[in-house]
């Protein structure tokens, strides 16, 4: 799996996790969703993605975006 797909899968997982935590644990977990969305938005414009850097260091093959 490429870094691009890993980042998308990780972001999707984090959004679903934060929605579940918001619904079942505490409403303030909605801020995790906001953080993930903001990170996706800034990485679209800057190309800087901390998750992509971590996945590269773990040995994932590079993709087109990262």
The domains of the chain are located at 3-57
> In this structure, what are the phi and psi dihedrals at residue 34, rounded to the nearest 5 degrees?
-60, -45
Share of the chain above pLDDT 70, in %: 97
Which pTM does this prediction carry? 0.85
Across the chain, what does the average pLDDT equal? 93
- Distance CA(31)–CA(29), nearest Å, equals 5
| CA-to-CA dists, residue 14 to 20, 50, 51, 61, angstroms | 10, 14, 12, 22
């Amino acid at each position: 799996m490429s870094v691009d797909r890993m980042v998308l899968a990780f972001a999707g997982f984090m959004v679903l996790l934060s929605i579940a935590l918001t619904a079942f644990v505490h409403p303030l977990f909605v801020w995790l969703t906001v953080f993930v969305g903001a990170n996706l938005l800034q990485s679209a414009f800057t190309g800087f993605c901390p998750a992509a850097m971590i996945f590269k260091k773990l040995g994932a093959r590079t993709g087109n975006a990262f």
